Copies of this chain bind each other. A is one copy, B any other.
Amino acid sequence: MKLYDAPWAPSPRRVRIFLAEKGIEVPREAIDLRSGEQLGDAYLLINPRGAVPALELDDGEVLCESAAICRYFEALHPEPSLLGTTAIEIGRIESWTRRIEGDGYAAVVYVLRNTVPAFKDRAIPDAGLSIAQIPELAERGAQMWDGFTRALDRRLEDREWIAGGGYSFADITALVTIDFARAAKLTVPERLVHLGRWHAEASARPSAQA
Per DSSP, are chain A's interface residues mostly helix, strand or loop, or mixed?
helix
Residue in B closest to A91 when the chains form the complex, CB atoms = B72
Contact among B55, B87, B103, B132 with A72 in the assembled complex (CB-CB below 8 Å): B87
Q: Which residues does chain B contribute within 8 Å of A181, judged by CB atoms? A: none
For chain A, residues 24 to 72, give those with C-beta under 8 angstroms from any C-beta of chain B. Answer: 55, 57, 61, 63-65, 67-69, 71-72
Q: Given contacts A124-B140, A124-B144, A140-B124, is CB(A68)–CB(B103) below 8 Å? A: no
Q: How many copies does the complex hold?
A: 2
Q: Do B68 and A95 touch (CB < 8 A)? A: yes
Those of A91-107 within 8 Å (CB) of chain B:
91-92, 94-95, 98-99, 103
Contact A67 B98 (CB under 8 A): yes
For A131, the chain B residues whose CB sits under 8 A away are 140, 143-144
The count of residues in chain A whose C-beta lies closer than 8 Å to any C-beta of chain B is 40
Assess whether A137 is interfacial by the CB under 8 Å rule.
yes
- Given A87-B75, A144-B129; A92-B65 close (CB under 8 Å): no
The residues of B that contact A123 with a CB separation of less than 8 Å are 140
The 10 closest A-B pairs by CB, nearest first: A72-B91, A68-B95, A75-B87, A68-B94, A65-B98, A65-B95, A63-B91, A76-B87, A68-B91, A71-B94
Q: Which residues of A contact B (CB under 8 A)?
A: 55, 57, 61, 63-65, 67-69, 71-73, 75-76, 86-88, 90-92, 94-95, 98-99, 103, 123-124, 126, 128-129, 131-132, 134, 136-137, 140, 143-144, 147, 151
Q: List 20 A-B contacts (CB under 8 A).
A: A55-B91, A61-B88, A63-B88, A63-B91, A65-B95, A65-B98, A65-B99, A69-B91, A72-B87, A72-B90, A75-B86, A75-B90, A123-B140, A124-B140, A126-B147, A128-B147, A128-B151, A131-B144, A132-B140, A136-B136
